[in-house]
Structure 1
């Protein structure tokens, strides 16, 4: 008999959080044991608008939640301000975090990886859970070996807090692994308006667009002699991220370190 995975979801009222709650509720091998929210403490989730039939308790304090309920995995889809704190509480309680929050620094990731390994627990931080976006990043890394001149344009909804996106940064980091840093464009170019050329990552330019109506979109544009190559991914809704969340939950139970980026587990 397959062991059921006991899951706590943090951030259930957000767009991603709502999708994750539904994913856990409809997956035969997952059990939703509680949610952690910034409000509604003491209520049942079914008493919150949009969660009919889900009679699991709501907590505002994550430590209290873990003291009251045994959990295997925390799915955290909150905000950069809470992501690291929630991971530390999860580790302290023997719970394996799967985190979709972006905004982690290299130092954060290094320190959290050390905590995970000291506890012998798996953890996954994914800038993007969409399988197509992960393939876009991997394809871009391959293309950069042959076409090293590249710029990234990422487009997101206007409620997104960080810029550039975690996906854009991760893409640039993967490309940098196979490409020597170089200044792109005319060496004498001048920005008539500061920021016009976008952010600079080892010579690559990253441009962030924030508009209502968008979800998550990115194109990586390569230029070569007489040719261009564009690799693009579009998420039309948050359901596109759920297969990746499911894969991360199932994988985090099998590892004992922190993995940053879903590309490391889809192979």
Structure 2
């Protein structure tokens, strides 16, 4: 059965390539597109995809006037929650590719999705290599008691930490809480210099030109140090395959499910 898909952020750095991939697949049908710019134009003309005749709409509600099975959001931190709520109101399952949602936001969306018998899938990172980083980090956390996370991204990313870093911190918390010789609350000087505390882990966000998306977790014990790092050098390529996987599987979920590893059986 063909899965009907609407993409918010369909002209963006990930949304555009994803729209092309959906249109070229044999089992998915692109039926809607949302973007702030180019409203009213045909998506195929904007992203250079011949045969993609979907008209770009300015809001999620307008795009969802055409029924879809799965709504995908690759927009921005200040828009994603409203888009997800609108999609759930229209009876669509949701795949979240945007960062910026808090744990409280996810709890709220989980309750609404379960009430409506719908699935919402979210991943901090849809790259398979990022899933491997999470797996290796969980193994290390079981053996090494102390760690911190460094989150790197491009200079215009307004939300911090990244969804990748937040998801990694939550996964490590499921193993155990890290041990710090000096409690963060006992910091002498600027407390913020120790980063943000996310799921018991200190997370430091760097926003500079020259980065696309990277996350590093640094473990320390005795006179030893272990660093595990993931770098995305392409702003779109690593994420398309994982997002397509989520689109195909989200209808089997109920409520919010987080982490690409949950779909890979890791």
For normalisation by structure 1, the TM-score amounts to 0.90
Distance 1:263 1:187, change over 3 A: closer
Deviation at 1:181, TM superposition (A): 4.8
Match of 1:117 among 76, 91, 114: 114
Contact kept in structure 2, 1:149 and 1:184, CA below 8 Å? no
Question: Is there any run of 5+ residues in structure 2 with no aligned partner, and where?
Answer: none
Kept after mapping to 1: 8 A contact 2:215/2:231: yes
Of the candidates 158, 165, 187, which is equivalent to residue 168 of structure 1? 165
Deviations 1:101-151 (A, max 9, x none): 111122211111111111111111211111111221122122111101111
**1:153 counterpart = 2:150:** yes
Structure 2 match to 1:11 = 9
For the pair 1:41 / 2:22, whether they are aligned, the reply is no
Q: 1:49 to 1:261 in 2, by over 3 A?
A: closer
Is 1:232 aligned to residue 229 of structure 2? Answer: yes
The residue number in structure 1 matching 2:262 is: 264
Using the alignment, how far apart are the partners of 1:28 and 1:103 within structure 2?
Answer: 32
Aligned to 1:210: 207
Distance 2:212 2:247 in 1: 23
1:202: Cα distance to partner? 5.8
Written as runs of structure 1 = structure 2, the 5 A alignment for 1:49-64 is: 50-64=48-62
Q: How far apart are the structure 1 equivalents of 2:187 and 2:59?
A: 50
2:19 to 14, 18, 21: 21
Q: C-alpha separation between the residues in 2 aligned to 1:87 and 1:157?
A: 25
CA 1:139–1:113 in structure 2 vs 1: closer, same or farther (change >3 Å)?
same
| Corresponding position of 2:241 | 243
Tell me the number of residue pairs that the alignment of Structure 1 and Structure 2 aligns. Answer: 264
CA distance in 1, matches of 2:150, 2:44: 40
Unaligned regions of 5+ residues in structure 1, if any? Answer: none
SS of the residue corresponding to residue 13 of structure 1 reads coil
Partners of 1:22 and 1:191 lie apart in 2 by 52
Contact 1:7 1:72 in 2 (8 A): yes
Structure-2 separation of matches of 1:72 and 1:188: 47
TM-score with structure 2 setting the length: 0.91
Say if 1:234 and 1:93 are closer, same or farther in 2 by CA, change over 3 A: same
Q: Equivalents in 2 of 1:59, 1:137: separation in Å?
A: 36
